[in-house]
A and B are shown apart, each in its own frame.
Chain A
Amino acid sequence: MSATFGPLERISWGLYDTAVLTWRNLLRVLRNPIYLVTEVVIQPVLFTLLFAYIFGGAIHISGASYLDFLMPGIFVQTTTFGSMNTAVGLAEDLEKGLMDRFRSLPVAYWAVPVGRVLADLVLDAFGLGLMVAVAYAIGFRFHGDAGQTLAAVGVVVLWGFSIACFGALLGVLLRRTSTVQAFGFVAMFPLTFASSTFVPVQTMPGWLRAFSSHSPITAVVDTVRHLVLDTPGGGSSTLAAVAWSLAVLAVSVPLAAYGFRRLTR
């Protein structure tokens, strides 16, 4: 950046770019009604209803209704899948040449990925709100107090942010939407299913349980679950969930930033 720019001007310049690009990413979703309806509206609602009614009858959780057990898992799964939108969105901008256009303008280099991540967080929040509403209608309740509920939201948002930053890294690393989608399918399903998202890990065979109980998804889901169900003993999973989130951030942000700078090879 030019020498006449102080650090504050640089940051406010970049924040303006970020706001402009966040709005552009959201406008794209509004302009794409099929995506809006299927990804943002139907998918979370469908997941909630399908899992609640299909598994709900078969799985019995001691001390809680399956719906109350399930919803924290669905919240985390939805935000985790949401990171693939971040990756695909950036890869698409790279493929379509829009990234070149942005980079040929006086735009802060970090504004493009950050604008992408923020837009995806807004969409995540919208999807989560919708799921809570649908789940409430069929009997889901937050059993903790306001502080616990807020903490649950905080943990989901922190994880959503971290995993979206990981998505940004994937986007700039893989660069092609088809590659990102293939990766997402292969990596995201096992990662989210081999965890405590839908069933307690104690029910799994030994080798799978070993994997699942150490999964970051399990840590985050268990933390949210303790807060939603108001059960004691959530301390260790909370620690693990926050540590995982920060670790993913600590790896993804510098590497993604490096990846974006490296586009100018």
Chain B
Amino acid sequence: MDVSEPAIRVEGLVRSFGRTQALRGLDLEVPPGTVTALLGPNGAGKTTLVRILATLIRPDRGTARILGRDVVREAFAVRSLIGLTGQYAALDELLTGRENLRLIGRLAHLGERRARARAEDLLHLVGIAEAAGRPVTTYSGGMRRRLDIAAGLMGSPAVLVLDEPTTGLDPRGRIEVWELIESLVRQGTTLLLTTQHLEEADRLADAIAVIDRGRIVASGTDEELKRRVGGEVLEVRLADAGQASRARAALEPMAAGPVRVEGALVSVPVRHPSGAVVHAVRRLDAAAVEAEDVALRRPTLDDVFLVLTGHAAGADPEPDVWRVA
């Protein structure tokens, strides 16, 4: 293991499934001891990348290395370096939480004593020590996800990969998982996590890489990305959707990026949030546009996407004439 190597280095990764190009030349680097969020909409290629890194599938072209080890040629070595928690919990429902972790520990070849000890440590770390003796069928979604993350940690991997760790969780489960990830980050775990939510990437990661249709389209800190989006977003809900184009014209001069209109909702990226609401209300008044609500919100993945790629997140690159609006 070479310490000067990045924890993850991906170069020119290409992978297709039949006619679908899931990855089209993806580059990514994750330095040791850092947290990188791979931010992208459904279908962007996040899971495909994660599965290649975990040696579950092979790339068609390009290379991926974990601490210098090639995921194809040195797959067996890579499996001892990487811990994976997939998008869907991979737990044995009939076994207890404790039995699940011990099983993974044995299969990670920790030896019986260490497998048992590490299982107990992790059950405490992820906060399911009291439920450890119950079968997983009785666990809530948040508990399953935390147990699944613990399973990814059993082999003390050098790199932990979490694929959409909070997708499908209720708000409470999401906060539990966030707190767990934050405690891992404090311990210096090298982490790659995928997400569809800018807020999540923002909260958990040092660096964010935005993925769109199999390529990284932007990367940097959340501040850098938000600067490109233009800070915050002013949202205007019109009383009458028919006035949308007049509202757009009125607000365009104060926009820091493309203005988006969806029915009666007009979104305007603004660079200087202070005074933006008052400013907008005056402009709308002057244009005789009636607004039901004017508010500032933080940019979402959709805003980031619109600015970075010029199309909405998840939208098809080709015009889809038969799509029902």
Contacts and interface: CB of A to CB of B under 8 A. Distances in A.
Contacts of A17: 107
A105 B74 contact: no
Nearest to A106: B79
Contacts of B91: 96, 98
A20 B86 contact: no
Contact of B58 (A32, A97, A100, A265): A265
A263 B75 CA distance: 14
Category for how many chain B residues contact A: 20 to 34
Interface in B19-60: 51, 54-58
Interface in A90-132: 96-98, 100-107
Contacts of A203: none
Contacts of A98: 90-92
B79 A104 contact: yes
B103 A2 contact: no
Interface stretch (B93-101, B172-180, B286-294): B93-101
Nearest to B76: A1
B80 interface: yes
A248 to B, nearest CB: 29
Nearest to B53: A104
A27 interface: yes
B55 to A, nearest CB: 7
Interface in A1-54: 1-2, 13, 16-17, 20-21, 24, 27-28, 31-32
Contacts of B135: 31
Contacts of B93: 96
Interface string A123-143: 000000000000000000000
Given A28-B95, A100-B86, A105 B107 contact: yes
Contacts of A97: 86, 88-90
A265 B75 CA distance: 13
Contacts, number: 77
Contact of B108 (A27, A32, A106, A263): A106
A21 B106 CA distance: 9
Q: Is the interface of B mostly helix, strand, loop or mixed?
A: loop
Contacts of B151: 101
A264 interface: yes
Contacts of B109: 13, 16, 106
Contacts of A106: 76, 79-80, 107-109, 155
B77 interface: yes
Contact of B94 (A1, A32, A102): A32
Nearest to A13: B109
Contacts of A21: 107
A265 B86 CA distance: 18
Interface in A166-189: none
B56 A264 contact: yes
Given A17-B107, A101-B151, A28 B92 contact: yes
B82 interface: yes
Contacts of A263: 56
Interface of A: 1-2, 13, 16-17, 20-21, 24, 27-28, 31-32, 96-98, 100-107, 263-265
Given A28-B94, A106-B76, 7 more contacts: A16-B106, A27-B99, A28-B95, A96-B90, A96-B93, A100-B51, A101-B84
- Closest CB pairs A-B (n = 7): A97-B90, A101-B90, A106-B79, A104-B54, A31-B94, A20-B106, A1-B76
12 contacts: A2-B76, A13-B109, A20-B103, A28-B95, A32-B94, A96-B92, A101-B86, A101-B90, A102-B107, A104-B84, A106-B76, A265-B58
